Amino acid sequence: MKENDIRPAHLLNEYLRLSSLDAEEYFQLENRVPIPCPACAETSFSPAFCKNGFEFVVCQQCATLYLSPRPPLREFERFYTESPSSSYWANTFFPSVIEARRHTIFKSKVKRVEAFCGSK
C-alpha cells in the first residue's frame, strides 16, 4: 500500500489547508478550558507540542497525550456540522478514496479479525 493511494497529495493538501483555516474560525482561544487527563483524571501535565493553535500535553501520571485547554463541545459540534474542511472531507476527499481504502485497509483488517476469530 502506498500512502498516495489512500491519501492523494492534492486532496490531502487541500483538506489540511481548509482544516488550518477552520481551526482559527471555529475554535476560539478565549473559550478553551483546562481539563484533567481523560484517561486517569490527573491534573498535572507537561507541555508536549502545539499544532494549529492547539496545545497538547502529556499526563504526568499515565503519559496520555491530550488536548488542554480544550474548546467546549458546542465548538466541536459547529465545526463538524458547518466547517468547510468537514464538508470537503465528507463530500470530496473520502468519496474519492473509498474504494482504495476498502481494498487496502478494510479488507486486510477483516482478514486479521477473521484469523483472530478462527473463521474463514
Q: 119 falls in which pLDDT band (50, 70, 90)?
A: low
Which carries the bigger pLDDT value, residue 112 or residue 90? 90
Element at 113 (helix H, strand E) = helix 107-117
Half-sphere exposure of 94 (CA within 13 A, CB side): 7
Are the beta carbons of 57 and 66 closer than 8 angstroms? yes
For the cut 70, the answer to whether the pLDDT of residue 84 exceeds it is: yes
- The predicted model scores a pTM of 0.70
Residue bearing cell 468537514: 86
pLDDT in tens, 54-72: 999 999 999 999 999 999 9
Grid cell for residue 33 = 478550558
Half-sphere exposure of 47 (CA within 13 A, CB side): 5
Average pLDDT score, the chain: 91
> What is the C-alpha separation between 34 and 89, in angstroms, rounded?
29
